Structure 1
Amino acid sequence: MAAPHPYECEIVLDFASAEAATYAYETLNVDDEISPEKITKQLSTNGHQLIAHFWACEIRMLRAAASSFYDMALVTSRVLLEFDGLDE
């Protein structure tokens, strides 16, 4: 019997600080996957890194989830860059 989610991908994004990685994690971790039976996502941080791990039952679902994550991570990163240093 085949594994339910045989395809996987890990994306590691480096941020300038652990605080920025945490902000990105908190921003990107609010939504559940639309089809959890087809795609599973796990986010975590390790110091200044945001780590996204995806498991999917179909390679096309994995590609779509990774692409969507990159799009959302790019917007989040741009916001963090725009507002960097406001508390100084």
Structure 2
Amino acid sequence: MPSFILFSVFTSLTFMAIAFFLVTVGGNVGRFVALALLVLQLSTTGSDLPIPMLPVNLQALSRFLPLTYSNAGFKSIIS
């Protein structure tokens, strides 16, 4: 249980830092980019479909998105 809580805090701080960075650098454009990045991550990181079932270009893109690794981390902590 403590590892799950610590990983949850670490993951939330990471995503919050990315969003704050984009907003600080880009203003309203950064907010739009942060929202677009969030929507992109939900469909390409194994949240809806397993990564091997995605098209090849989205599989390659998922390696660069942080939600892929946080999903893998949560799966390894739970199991």
Same fold judged by TM-score > 0.5? Answer: no
Instruction: Report the TM-score, using the length of structure 1 for normalisation.
Output: 0.32
Larger relative contact order (CA 8 Å, sep ≥ 6): 1
Instruction: Report the TM-score, using the length of structure 2 for normalisation.
Output: 0.34
